[in-house]
Amino acid sequence: MIKRYTLPKMEKIWKEENKFRKMLEIEILVCEALAKLKKIPNKALEEIKKKAKFNLAKIKETEEKTQHDVVAFVEELAKGLGDKARYLHFGLTSSDLLDTALAVQMREAVDILIEGLEELIEVLKEKALKYKDMVCMGRTHGVHAEPVTFGLKLALWYDESKRNLERLKEAKEIISVGKISGVVGTYAHLPPFVEEYVCKKLNLKPAEVSSQIISRDRHAHYLLNLAICGASLEKFATEIRNLQRTEISEAEEPFSETQKGSSAMPHKRNPVICERICGLARILRANALSSLENISLWGERDISHSSVERVIIPDSTILLDYMLNKFTKILEGLTVHPENMLENLVKTRGLIFSQRVLLELMRKGLERSEAYKIVQRSAFSSLREGKEFKDTLLRDKRIQRLLTKEEIESLFNLDYHLKDIDPVFKRLGLLR
């Protein structure tokens, strides 16, 4: 991933040196297990622990000749070990190292994502409560529907984010699996004890069964859950982008004093961070699709998945980390315009109360289809003539026979629509 979207903590996890460091740890743990089984002298184990080191540049140099990164790594470790090198990589296959090290990296990466999402959830909780009673226009199909509150909108994001948190925790559980079972997973050259010992030390579970690799449905599950989380962030960012449109202007992402919105138009304040989040979510989805393609491999394995994973797994965790960080900052510095929310509420001259009128006519005895026709006719007259909806209702003869002027006016009441907001917040645990 390019530096622009890479945050320091996540970058450290995916540095190649960190991968080889974890592979070295696995090699040493295997030797420890073999020593416990009396297959390696304790003296040799101590020497391996002390002297097994690697130089990244040297590994790269050797890989140019071998065309195999793990072989190059093992040869590099062996250089300072003399005859003790024969105990290194004993009974292992490359994937024992690669897949187990990758599991540790993926677990560490998702821990950072979980932490970032928990921070976002806290900000969403705070903002949802802050704006709980701030009335704004609810829209369906981009068209005015009925009143809602800005806090309820954020409460929905809070609830969705909590589900994403559970998904990330589930992804962590499913990926925290290692394998030290040899070339086709039969433990032919190493007993299961070695795998159990190594995995316990790394805080992983041994794979219940594996081929030469850990099954890639685990990795696909992980990336799909990252993509779902990214899609939620895209949804939230899209709504802010929509609310920042000039014609709506109800909320906007932060804009600093030194920031420039356009090279040509000095007046511009564009939702560029929200747009960036939406763009990066597309990459997460594309990467998740690639992870599904990686599930099916030939026989006990091929390496068509390997090149893909070197890109999609680090990139997806790096991008989601960046997106969570950016969106949390957007929410913390969000500019909200309640005066524009109120202005937009009255823009359609009371049409947003049409359902209340419809239901009241039904209570008075009209069939739904007949009541609907009457209300729709008055609503369209209001739109066409630019008149208050109340006035077009009052001049309809059938409505006059069923509803008094006072009854009609009582239906145009925001409090009615928002009277049950608190129970929703209580159900979410946001209010006691």
List the catalytic residues: 141, 262
Classify burial at 187, counting beta carbons within 10 Å of its beta carbon; exposed 0-12, middle 13-18, buried 19 or more: middle
- The stretches of 270-364 forming alpha helices (DSSP H) are 272-293, 304-332, 338-345, 354-363
Residue 308: CA count within 13 A, CB half-sphere = 19
Cα–Cα distance measured from residue 133 to residue 430, given in angstroms and rounded to the nearest whole number:
13
The pair phi, psi for residue 384, each rounded to 5°, is -70, -40
Token pair belonging to 249: 């202007």
User: CA-CA distances (angstroms) from residue 163 to 159, 169, 225, 248, 332?
Assistant: 7, 10, 10, 30, 21
How far is it between the farthest Cα atoms of the chain?
104
Q: Which of the 8 DSSP states describes residue 351?
A: G
> Which are the contacts of 357, defined by CB distance < 8 A and separation ≥ 6?
375, 393, 408, 411
Token pair belonging to 432: 């006691």
Residue labelled with tokens 């109120």:
342
User: CA-CA distances (angstroms) from residue 387 to 138, 377, 397?
Assistant: 22, 13, 17
Nearest Cα neighbor of 354 from 331, 381, 326, 324 is 381
Question: In the 3-class helix/strand/coil scheme, how is 228-275 assigned residue by residue?
Answer: HHHHHHHHHHHHHHHHCCCCCCCEECCCCCCCCCCCCCCCCCCCHHHH
H/E run at residue 140: strand 135-140
CB of 213 closer than 8 Å to CB of 301: yes
CB of 150 closer than 8 Å to CB of 134: yes
> Which are the contacts of 40, defined by CB distance < 8 A and separation ≥ 6?
31, 34, 87, 90
Cα–Cα distance measured from residue 274 to residue 241, given in angstroms and rounded to the nearest whole number:
7
